[in-house]
Amino acid sequence: MAPRKLIAGNWKMNLLKAEGEALVRALGGSLSGTPKPACDVLVCPPFTLLGALAPLCRETGLALGAQDCHAKSSGAFTGDVAAPMLADAGCSHVIVGHSERRSLHGEDNATVKAKAEAALAAGLVAIVCVGETEAERDSGKAEEIVVAQLLASLPQGASAKTLVVAYEPVWAIGTGRTPTVEQVADMHAALRKALGGVLSDAAGLRLLYGGSVKPGNAAELLAVANVDGALVGGASLSHGDFWAICQSCG
């Protein structure tokens, strides 16, 4: 049986406290109504909002996640945030290895793996992101490249309960472009097969698609085999758009 779908909103470096609270309250109001979407709903605000939004998320049934963590549990790392601090703030999930972290901050697979292991050690679910650039897609080796990226980024001791994998083609993030349904299906099938070689419960692990997910394409993408949800960027900042994506789960 396919895992229950997860719709995760990555707010990136957006929204101030009043805006974040208003968005969570609106989403909570929708969650309390009927019919309820056939998915779990997660929001990943900036670090500054986690403490303020944790109580609201608990009240409304939303899961709370962070957008990054450090590989160490504490220490002299000015400006960084440790995974135990995120758990202490009320988070259940943390995104690691997003392409913006990989490209803008020079994070390699070993760094992403270390961060994911720190997340698991703190009791968090790690959302490990992988994806190819446009040049890598055009090379005809996208699946080979992304599978290798995934296997090198996987934390030791991961399971379907502690790990989520998000496939985000770099060339589709924030561009309005999306891969074809066939390309998404092929990549997710390749990732599931690769995970099956290293995890005994790979069939139950959530594989999310991300990259310009919006209300107009969500239902089609979420119906693809091995797509167990979505990691949503820009559309997650709008209650109407994000909720429409959640409702696309059925």
Smallest CA-to-CA distance from 246 within 231, 234, 50 is with 231
Q: Is 233 annotated for ligand binding?
A: yes
Q: Is 103 annotated for ligand binding?
A: no
Instruction: Single out the catalytic residue among 100, 117, 143, 168.
Output: 168
Instruction: Single out the catalytic residue among 98, 100, 143, 188.
Output: 98
93 is known as an active-site residue = no
Q: Is 74 annotated for ligand binding?
A: no
Q: How far is CA 109 from the centre of its chain?
A: 17
Q: Is 174 annotated for ligand binding?
A: yes
- Contact call for residues 92 and 65 (beta carbons, < 8 A): yes
The contacts found for 177-181 with CB under 8 angstroms, 24 or more apart, are: 177/211, 177/212, 178/211, 178/212, 178/213, 178/217, 178/221, 179/211, 181/220, 181/221, 181/224
User: What is the 8-class DSSP label of residue 212?
Assistant: S
Q: Is 171 annotated for ligand binding?
A: no
70 is known as an active-site residue = no
Q: Is 234 annotated for ligand binding?
A: yes
Q: Is 11 annotated for ligand binding?
A: yes
Q: Please give the annotated binding residues, written as ranges.
A: 10-12, 174, 212, 233-234
Catalytic residues: 98, 168
Q: Please give the annotated binding residues for substrate, written as ranges.
A: 10-12, 174, 212, 233-234
